[in-house]
């Protein structure tokens, strides 16, 4: 604690109350830097884990009330409400709605678990929302129906929980606090403590448990990952420059009797091998193929796409301009090695081949020479692709 230590003498008791009631948050509670700020009219937090408290307001709270406010603000930091507010375009003009939404996300979990907030904490039902949702959903509702905004006293004697809740800088915050990488380590420590506590020591609110699980094993946006892998592979190919005699150099006229090669930057040929064996989900395959087409279209390469249906053997290549033209025949066994070999035998040879499969297939023992392979592994139970392929997991729930 810094500044006005004698005027925040109730802080130690409040922290002990909070750590005893919510032991899985102890690392976060004791990781905050608390500063006395007379005239603040409440308690606020910034994104660097610094908490600011008005001694006159705090003096009127019980250890349980101040401890509950500490827990509430630590949850703003754990759930990265400041960064999420920025992603939603929150500004000083509309931060009030976001603060209510973020408060509702926290209080929906923590009030039933034992928070004793001063005043009247915001809950989803105060503005006609269902419980168990995210702040982004509550914020959208509050923006659409401003009249639904919760009324009455708010936690900390006002709506302002600080920039750590809405990402809008406040006067006097300055430099200091936790560096972002240290804040991330602290979040991970709290997430691990939540998982451990929920595994047998006690109970944890469902929302906090979901947050911890996502923090330690985040859900990957497969579309973004697939786009990144395709762009990376295409950049590796298109970035290659070599000399070619197919087109004479413009400098040849300066050298009598000598044919000079010109520099050539290849435009990559592309192929997609679609697993059409009996174990494949047609809906999932169609979705993934449409995603590949969309990505290639944005890169201006859709017209260079050839598609091969493959179960135990590869069918003929189909040069298509839209996935609607693709005929996915098959339904027998599975051998994506045959599909990769068929793609490799095409002329001109594709520089990049995307394999869309459920992964239950034999693979070649080594990468095909001169051809990059990106494996789109479809379904939640798909086995890993070999290490020489760039792989992206596409979940069944996508």
| Rounded distance between C-alpha atoms, residue 240 and residue 266, angstroms | 7
| Distance, CA of 50 to CA of 31 (rounded, Å) | 9
Rounded-to-integer distance, Cα 264 and Cα 246, Å: 9
Owner of token pair 């493959």: 310
Q: C-alpha 347: how far from its chain's center?
A: 39
Q: What is the pTM of this model?
A: 0.57
Burial class from Cβ neighbours inside 10 Å (0-12, 13-18, 19+) for residue 185 reads: middle
The tokens describing 246, both together, are 């197919």
Which residue in the block uniquely carries the two structure tokens 């990402």?
A: 167
Mean pLDDT across 367-388 = 88
pLDDT tens-digit map of 44-103 = 999 999 999 999 889 889 999 999 999 999 999 999 999 999 888 888 888 889 999 999
Place of tokens 């035998």: 345
Is residue 28 pLDDT above 80, yes or no?
yes
> What pLDDT score does 110 carry?
93
Which string of b and e fits 286-318 if b means at least 16 CB within 10 Å? bebbebbbebbeebebbebbbbbbbbeebbebe
pLDDT digits (tens, 9 = 90+) for 319-342: 876 666 777 777 778 899 999 999
Backbone φ and ψ of 204, nearest 5°: -130, 140
CA-based nearest residue to 46, from 131, 166, 145, 192: 166
Res. 3 pLDDT band, cuts 50 70 90: very low
**Strand, helix or coil for residue 180:** helix
CA 298 – CA 300 distance, rounded (Å):
5
Whole-angstrom distance, CA of residue 287 vs CA of residue 338? 23
Mean pLDDT of 122-143: 90
E strands in the chain: 33-36, 43-45, 50-53, 242-248, 261-264, 270-275, 305-310, 318-319, 352-357, 372-378, 390-394
Rounded to whole angstroms, the Cα distance separating 156 from 164 reads 14
Higher pLDDT, 66 or 396: 66
Residue 83, token pair as written in the block: 């960064």
Two structure tokens written together for 138: 């509550």
Take residue 4 and report the two structure tokens written for it: 């006005």
Cα dihedral across residues 26, 107, 39, 142: positive or negative: positive
- What would the pLDDT profile of 165-215 be if each residue is shown by its tens digit? 999 998 878 778 888 888 988 998 999 999 998 876 668 998 899 899 888
Q: May I ask the CATH class of domain 222-240+266-394?
A: alpha beta
Paired strand residues for 53: 36, 43
CA distance 83 to 167: 6
- The HSE-up count of residue 3 (CA atoms within 13 Å, CB side) is 12
Task: Please state the separation of Cα 177 from the chain's center in Å.
Answer: 25
For the chain, what are the domain ranges?
5-216, 222-240+266-394
């Amino acid at each position: 604690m810094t500044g006005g230590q004698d005027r925040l003498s109730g802080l130690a008791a409040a922290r002990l109350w909070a750590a005893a009631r919510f032991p899985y948050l102890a690392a976060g509670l004791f990781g905050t830097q608390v500063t006395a700020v007379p005239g603040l009219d409440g308690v606020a937090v910034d994104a660097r884990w610094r908490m600011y408290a008005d001694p006159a307001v705090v003096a009127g709270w019980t250890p349980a009330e101040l401890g509950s406010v500490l827990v509430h603000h630590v949850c703003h930091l754990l759930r990265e409400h400041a960064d999420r507010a920025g992603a939603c375009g929150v500004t000083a003009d509309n931060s009030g709605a976001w603060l209510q939404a973020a408060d509702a996300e926290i209080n929906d979990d923590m009030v039933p678990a034992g928070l004793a907030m001063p005043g009247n904490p915001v809950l989803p039902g105060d503005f006609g929302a269902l419980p168990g949702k995210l702040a982004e959903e509550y914020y959208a509702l509050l923006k659409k129906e401003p009249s639904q905004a919760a009324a009455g006293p708010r936690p900390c004697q006002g709506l302002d929980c600080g920039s750590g809740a809405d990402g809008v800088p406040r006067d006097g915050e300055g430099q200091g606090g936790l560096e972002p990488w240290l804040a991330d380590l602290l979040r991970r420590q709290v997430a691990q403590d939540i998982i451990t506590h929920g595994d047998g020591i006690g109970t944890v609110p469902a929302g906090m448990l979901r947050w911890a699980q996502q923090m330690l094993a985040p859900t990957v946006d497969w579309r973004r990952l697939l786009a990144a892998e395709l762009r990376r592979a295409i950049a590796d190919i298109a970035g290659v420059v070599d000399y070619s005699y197919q087109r004479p150099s413009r400098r040849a006229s300066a050298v009598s009797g000598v044919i000079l090669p010109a520099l050539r930057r290849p435009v990559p040929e592309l192929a997609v091998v679609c697993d059409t064996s009996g174990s494949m989900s047609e809906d999932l395959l169609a979705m993934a193929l449409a995603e590949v087409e969309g990505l290639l279209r944005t890169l201006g390469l859709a017209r260079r796409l050839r598609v091969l249906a493959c179960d135990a053997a590869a069918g003929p290549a189909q040069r298509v301009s839209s996935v609607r033209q693709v005929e996915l025949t098959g339904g027998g066994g599975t051998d994506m090695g045959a599909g990769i070999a068929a793609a490799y035998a095409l002329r001109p040879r594709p520089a990049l081949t995307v394999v869309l499969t459920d992964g239950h297939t034999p693979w070649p023992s080594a990468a095909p020479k001169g051809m990059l392979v990106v494996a789109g592994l479809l379904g939640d139970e798909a086995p890993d692709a070999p290490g020489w392929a760039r792989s992206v997991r596409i979940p069944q729930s996508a």
